[in-house]
Amino acid sequence: MGFILKSIMGSLAVLSLPYFDRGIRIRDSRAGLKLFAVMVGINFILSLLLGGLLKITYWLTLGTGYVVVNCILLGVCADLVDGIEFDSFFSIFRGGLILSIFWILLSLLI
């Protein structure tokens, strides 16, 4: 049940990014859901390969490493999915920051 709830909330967070930053454009909900699915897949693979290293980085940087990883992940996944556009690096950074804050709040609630 937790996975389904996190998936629904995560997809809503990705789809709401253009409302928080005008530099982020998602063509339609299908492109947003594809972006979310690609992000989850790559995040899963990264956590399997580099799980311990990522957790240490998160603790040493007091959570700012989480924002950096989300920004890189968002930029890479947007290149893989058609229909996602960012105006600048700062749009990617703000989108990664918004997703990081959302995931931290969601993990505290669930």
- The answer for residues whose C-beta is within 8 angstroms of residue 96's C-beta and 6 or more apart is 67, 68, 70, 71, 72, 73, 74
Domain ranges (residues) in the chain: 2-109
- The answer for residues whose C-beta is within 8 angstroms of residue 2's C-beta and 6 or more apart is 110
Tens-digit pLDDT string for the chain (110 aa): 677 887 888 888 888 899 998 899 999 989 988 998 998 888 888 878 877 777 787 788 877 777 888 888 888 988 899 989 999 889 999 998 888 888 888 878 77
